[in-house]
Amino acid sequence: MSAVDIFLTKGMKLRGLLITVLMLAACAASSEEASPTPAISPSALAPNVSLEEVEDLFGSNLEYPEPEVQELLLAIGMERTSTGSRFREERIGVPYIVYDTPVAWVSRYRTGDKSVDTLVNMALVMMISKFKSESTYRVGVDLLRKAAEKGYWPASAFTAGEYLRQAAEIGDKVGNNRFRDESIESKRMLLLGKLAMEHLNRCAEAGFAPCQYRIGFWLANSADKPTEGVEVLRHAIKSTLQDNRYQGYVDESFFHAVQVIYDLGESAGLSHAMREQYRGLLEGYSKGSQQSLNM
């Protein structure tokens, strides 16, 4: 039985939605005008589903997801509420999965529908429903990669993290001292790094702070581009301060970025006063302050 078949034979009830996901959906609905659409087709208004309905499908996996899934859900919500979204008419996210039923999305996929909403919603079912398994999770990862190839930047954010994880696993297995410039492992790691950076650039350009932080730290730690890293981290901090939904998700990255900017900022042309201003953000951010910099 395939991973997809599992979700056609489990007899799933459709109940439940995490409060934060419902809030994101409500935000999206309030910011858009409804358009006439057929059933299970693009809709500007997120369907009205209850907390109990999603909980029955996803269990506690939405309340306590893996960090990479938590970041994916945040990205989906932010993309959904973005005024410049290319996918505003797609039925992407937990409310649509619950309302239309997972079986309906599986049916769409099986009949050849490879639209972004089908790919992403199928991935979420595979990765975070209470019937998930290691094999279904891998299916979800591949579906998100396909969605990323279609330009959906939240999927690019997730896919970049997956490539970086794979590269780190190779490094852990062989050890840095065993690498040779022409080794298979070295070439594989370089390829994974290149693919990760391509996807990080996509989500960073969309203004997603976690991707901006990753690029910034990557460059700041490089031998030849630490100044560029400081500039990217400044953008990441600005993105974080402009949207309070990031608080609780990027706190560690925020604090580390401030320290990097302070340490390397002088070589990047920042005055001592400006560097101190960044350090002053730490206390304000920890209190939930929405300070902004004159950048």
- For the stretch 206-239, pLDDT in tens is 999 999 999 999 999 998 999 999 999 999 999 9
pLDDT at 178: 55
Residues 93 and 170 in one domain: no
- The whole-model pTM stands at 0.80
Residues 118 and 180 in one domain: no
Residues 140 and 15 in one domain: yes
From CA 275, how far away is CA 256, in angstroms rounded? Answer: 14
pLDDT at 159: 98
Regarding predicted confidence, which is higher, 5 or 65? 65
CB 116 within 8 A of CB 124: no
Residues 139 and 158 in one domain: no
Half-sphere exposure for 168 (CA within 13 Å, toward CB): 7
Among 145, 176, 198, identify where a domain stops: 145
Is pLDDT above 50 for 181?
Answer: yes
From CA 147, how far away is CA 158, in angstroms rounded? Answer: 11
Residues 10 and 119 in one domain: yes
Tally of structural domains, the chain:
3
Is pLDDT above 50 for 11?
Answer: no
Candidates 201, 266, 262; CA nearest to 237 is 262
Among 145, 170, 197, identify where a domain stops: 145
Residues 92 and 179 in one domain: no
Residue where the block lists tokens 């309905």: 53
Q: Which domain holds residue 20?
A: 3-145
Residues 176 and 219 in one domain: no
Residues 170 and 246 in one domain: no
Residues 221 and 291 in one domain: yes
Residues 291 and 262 in one domain: yes
Residues 194 and 290 in one domain: no
